[in-house]
A and B are shown apart, each in its own frame.
Chain A
Amino acid sequence: MSLNFDLIMPFIFILVKIAIVIGVTMLHVMYCTYFERKVIGHMQVRLGPMRVGPHGLLQPLADGLKLFFKEDIIPTESDKAVFKLAPIIFTFAAMSSLAVIPFYNGFVVANINIGLLYILAMSSLGAYGVVMAGWSSNSKFSFLGGLRSSAQVISYEVAMGMSLIGVMLLAGSLNLSEIVKAQQQHWYGMYLIPQCVGYFVFLTAAFAETNRTPFDLPEAESELVAGYFVEYSGFRFALYFVSEYIGMIVMSSMAVVCFWGGWTLPPFITNAIPALLLIPGLIIFLAKVYFHIFLFYWVRATVPRYRYDQLMALGWKVLLPLALINIVVTSIVKFLVA
């Protein structure tokens, strides 16, 4: 019996961890939508949702209920199997990225050595959900959305991967927990300072990868109605909606882990104010993630959408060369210092 117990316990432990991470993330997604509408509302001198609950606090619940009970429509001329599979792949890619993110010291579902590459692989898998949805719906709007998205994701993935190589070089590891620990070894405590170019490239590519403004051409509502998921309704639409927000949370967490020192504060700050060491790591991590999510909304309310050729030119002619120069300079500096 004891042998069985030893075998089963880690398994249950992992399941509990997964349940916690998924549950907390879904709660975050709910209030991310609320937060977005409030932030953009106030930036545009409106109030945002106010009707459901005090200050509209129950609005996400109402939205969820509505989506859950909506009629599920599948277009007659669509490729049914692919149409049904597409949102599942998209959600799978978004949720499984959460597995390798270290929320604080030791709390990570899967502490694997290639965490950074795993996130990149999962984000490229998400493109399939988009392309398949665009193609299988058999509608010109969703098809154009799918085409735009696949081209955009391929282009910006290159820049994103290259921008993270600087972090890999400095940390000497692909394990996300190791990257956070490596940042603590320096007085600045976050790679944002030596890797500011890499951070800029990463953040821009993250906006494009998550199809957010100013790179939201795949779902440009003024020309494509809603882009690749035009034909989806009810819960299938909700899957896309939720996964996009999870994607934003994952990208924000990546920025925090790779450039902002994860759950730690820089030593030069904690040396000046030792009381800050008492704050739990999870709160520091979440505060940094919330800042990045706010940044997504801030940019959405501020800048207009790019034109498609400008988008491609920015990705290939500005971001990629910047990331490459960053790699060369980082390697030379690391070689000279070491």
Chain B
Amino acid sequence: MLPKIFFGYFSIAMIFVSILIITRRNPIHSILWMLVLFFHIAGLYLFLNAEFLAAVQMILYAGAILVLFLFVIMMLNLRKEVEVERFLGEWPIAVFVGGATLVLVIMALTTLTQGPVGQYTVEAIQAETHVKALGKALYTEYLYPFEIASLILLIAVVGAMVLAKKRT
């Protein structure tokens, strides 16, 4: 019963906060609501015994990416920015894309079948600690996709350096 109540609270609060994020007129307020959203996502991870993911969610998303957003928005001229309408331009296209995604999600959900139970049950993860279990899976079973992801990140890093160095 208690887990269901918690999950209900988290999912309802997350939907509500997401609506708040896109309807605020002041971009800084949007970002602060997004911080609340990230807190809730981290809470959900904790529920799934994924404590490492919860901590990384806070450190990377809330601590680095969102602060970077905040940094950029603070550089803009807010007096002008606040007066701009939030929903403008090609809204019919946006509605179409959103609707299509929704149909896709519903189709995926209706055809969902539960996968086979792997070696990592809740007890196994608790015995081994989540960080170790995740590290083992990443560096043995999923080494190839992991290396591809790191290569993509490396390209992004090099690209950022090239862009920054261009002017001098």
Contact = CB atoms under 8 A, between A and B. Distances in A.
Interface string B53-79: 011101100111001101100100000
B67 A147 contact: no
A120 B59 contact: yes
A174 interface: yes
Chain B interface, >50% SS class: helix
Given A113-B51, A124-B62, A154 B68 contact: yes
B52 interface: yes
A125 B63 contact: yes
A121 interface: yes
A151 B72 CA distance: 11
B63 A113 contact: no
A334 B28 CA distance: 46
A143 B74 contact: yes
A146 interface: yes
Interface in B116-160: 129-131
A224 to B, nearest CB: 16
Contact of A146 (B29, B51, B68, B74): B74
Interface residues of B, number: 23
A153 B66 CA distance: 13
B65 to A, nearest CB: 10
B74 A131 contact: yes
B28 A135 contact: yes
Nearest to A135: B74
Interface of A: 79, 82, 85, 112-114, 117-118, 120-121, 124-125, 127-128, 131-132, 135, 143, 146-147, 150-151, 153-154, 157, 161, 173-174
Which 7 residue pairs are nearest across A and B when measured between Cβ atoms? A124-B63, A117-B55, A121-B58, A114-B55, A114-B51, A121-B59, A113-B129
